[in-house]
Structures are given as structure tokens and as C-alpha cells.
A and B are shown apart, each in its own frame.
Chain A
């Protein structure tokens, strides 16, 4: 169906961090999710949270190789939000039967997978926080902010880019140790 094709196209835009695509998805789906959460003992802050989480699930799906939507994007987002909200309600013990306003839904058990991804992401973040300065800033500048080595050398006061590079690799090895130590603990 051409509609799905179009939506799969926009998912590729999402994976490439295209602001316009993100905005369009918000515009098309946010009001529905907000109404759903408000009708089910949530408030607007919680609606924002849940929608954001769903957008991250969507991003993770979209960046997976060969991922294709096989239902409407709207349905997918609704189902993910519904699941996330149910879980949140259970945690808060505010659970009461949900008021449904959209009939069709897809099962999204896979969001357990999302949690795993999420914790990988957290592992990297905690490892980064543990290595200390100047390693943290150095790695952040190169790998997260994507600055070039010349720029970094100037900023961190290294005499040349080669020195900065050697330092960067030393830091990387430390990061690796911390990361895998946590990774093994987690499993």
C-alpha cells in the first residue's frame, strides 16, 4: 500500500534525525496520545513523557536494519504508548481498566527489547561518567559531538593532534574496561 510506503519513508527520515519528520509525527499523533493519557488518570506532563519514550522506541526500530512497518504508524504509536502507560500505571499502582478510544491495535511485546537497548545506552553513559576528566570531555568531544582532532587538541591544550590522539586511545581503553565490566555484571 502506498500509504505504508510513505510512512516507511518518513521512518527513514526519523532515523536520520530529520527535525521536520519528527515534528510531523508529533503533529499527527500527539493530540491522540494526550487525550488517551488524560482520559486514563494521567496528566499532560506524563503524556509528554510517554510520547517521548514512544518516539525513542520508534527511533530504535527505525534504525534497525530492514525494519518495515506493517501497520499504520498511528496504530503503532498508539500501541506502544498504551503499553508504556499501562506499565507506568502498574508501577504507580493507579491501575484501573483503560478507556479505549482506538479500536485497532498491534501487539508490541517487543518493547521489552527497547528496555534492553535503553539499558545498553545507560551502561555507556555510566561508563562515561566513571572515567573522569579529561577522558570524559575528550571522548565526548570526539565521539559524541564529532569535533575533529585538530580542534580538540587546541581546546584541551595538547601541543598537537597526535598527542591528543594518543590520549584519546588511552581513554578509550579505560572506557572499554569499565563498559565491559558493567556489561558482564548486567548479564
Chain B
């Protein structure tokens, strides 16, 4: 008997889809032919294993969801630094080593900064392009038509954007992160979600060094969004880690995937990663996530000469950025999402869950 036919038969037999006649026939063959019987046993085992795998996966996903819900409530403590006593102990133990290491580090950093400065002066930065997109006139027309369609809803000034980039929410109250080079070129800023709704936004802080900016949606039409599905990673991503990104190189949200190809960015910039992923102008400011749905970086630029060499600011910079924002003004209370609910999900579902939190940033 053909194995292909047999495996089909076994599946139908196990699912109880056979007619009574077929069933007797099948059992007859099984009884008379030990080789067939052996195969039936193997196939049954395989199907059971597959079924088990499916169930365990679904169960694990439930565990993750319950866990993050309870962490939100505070029943489960979030990761935290260990007690003071331990730190003091470690400090005493390693005081000498730290002193030596620190002085070496200072020396090395002085030398490298010197080198980088001289090197930079010679080479210049022409090989790297910012990934902010210029919007063609036709697309502006499309935007206009789209808006005039919506005009009967709310009459408002139609944005006529010149530049396009990407940003993502870090707090459902309307705080987004995008690139500083994006914001610097825009006088008025709008953000548009995946449903095509425009909101006005202002830049409340920029850090040109890390090339990051924080935007606040000021539009009264914007409703606070809850349950940001992703979290922001405090530690570094690993070399070779699989990543994916969402962004707006076109008027529609675009998915891209790749991997971390180096732990430092352009010319050894340790606050950035080098990624291998396909991105285009407009992807600037887009989130880079790992398979667990943790944001590990923000797309900033790509090498215009070499193909597939993309740079992304590390997610750590977001925390630094927020510290600076808080110093600037005490009244702002930005709360970063602490847990990812994307862990253990298939990629399509991860994207579906998070796409409404990724915005197109446009302006002129």
C-alpha cells in the first residue's frame, strides 16, 4: 500500500471520518499485514505528538497572558535590581579589579575618541543616509482626496506633508518615539494610524546624539490607548537575533524581517546596532522587535553604498531619553509598557496585535 494513501487513511481513521464499511476494510488490512500495522502505529504516534504540541503551545500562550495580566496588577513582581547588601558585598570584593578596569576604560575611550574624531574629519558621513521619506505630489493628492472624503465627519485643516517617517507609542496617553532627524525637518507634525486617522502632535524632546525624539499627540480627537502589546528591552540584543520591524515607507504599513548583524552601529557607535533588514525612506523611527515582542531598537539610517546595512538606535536610549525628559519637566508622567503580550504568538498575530500602535509621522 502506498504510504501516502496510508497516512491519509490513518488520519481519517483516527478522526473517525471513515464509513463503517471502510473501517472494517481498513482493520482487516491491518490485521493481515504486520508491516501496515506497524506503520499505523507510527502514524498514530506522530499524530498524537502533533496534537500534544498544539495543545502545549496554546497552553503556554495562556500562561504568558495570565502572567502579564498579573504582573500588571502587581501580584507578580517585575524584574528588579537585587538588594543593597549584595551590591555592597560585590563592591568590596571587586573594588580593586573595578579600579583597574575603570582606568583602562578611561584610557581606551580617550584614545578611541581621539581616533574617531580625526577619522571622522577625514572621511565624513556621506555614506549614511537618513531614512526619512520625501512624499511625492501624487501621494499628497491622494491624501487630500482621502481627507475630503472624511471631511463630512470633522472639518479640519488638511495636512500637506512633505516628509514621512514612522513612530510608535511608548505610552497610551499619546507619547511616541521617533527619530530626531525626522522631527527636525518638520515644522508641523501629524501622525496617522493604520486606520488613516490624522492627529496633530508636537515634539517635546529631541536627542540629536541618539537621533531620538519624543512626540506628544495634542489632538483632542485622540483617545488614550491601553494595553500596549510590546515592552521595551533594557538589555542588549544578541548578535544574530532574529528581528522584525514595522514602518511606513509607503502609505500603508509595511513589515520587514532580518537579524542583528553587529552589536555596534556606524563607525563603532556602541549606542546603536547594525541590522540586516530591508528598509526604505519612511522607515525612519520604526520599532525593531525581537521574537518575544520586545522592542530592541529604533531604525535610524542605512548605508547608502552597501546593501542591507541598516542602523538602529538601541532601545536603552529610550530610557535615557525619558530620564532627560523627566529632568526637563517634572509634570510629565510617561509610563513605559512593562510587559509584552506577544510572547509565544505566531508572527502574523504579533503584527496584528501591534500595528495600531505604530504611526506614520508626516509633516512639512
Binding site for B on A (CB under 8 A): 17, 19, 22-23, 26-27, 30-31, 34, 43-45, 47-48, 52, 55-56, 59, 63, 120-121, 123-125, 128, 139-140, 143-146, 165-166, 169-170, 172-173, 175-176, 179-180
Contact = CB atoms under 8 A, between A and B. Distances in A.
A92 B60 CA distance: 25
Interface stretch (B2-10, B120-128, B130-138): B2-10
B53 A169 contact: no
Given A19-B62, A180-B42, A30 B53 contact: no
B44 to A, nearest CB: 11
Interface in B72-120: 75-80, 82
A44 B78 contact: yes
A17 B53 contact: no
Interface in B40-74: 42-43, 46, 49-60, 62-63, 65-67, 69-70
Q: How large is the interface on B (under 10, 10 to 19, 20 to 34, 35 or more residues)?
A: 20 to 34
B53 A44 contact: no
A125 B3 CA distance: 23
Contacts of A124: 49-50, 52-53
Nearest to A172: B7
Interface residues of chain A: helix, strand, loop or mixed (majority): helix
A173 B245 CA distance: 35
B49 A179 contact: yes
B55 to A, nearest CB: 7
B307 interface: no
B330 to A, nearest CB: 29
B7 A169 contact: yes
B76 A17 contact: no
B267 interface: no
A125 B75 contact: no
B209 interface: no
B65 A19 contact: yes
Contacts of B62: 17, 19, 22
A43 B82 contact: yes
Contacts of B78: 44
Contacts of A30: 70, 75-76
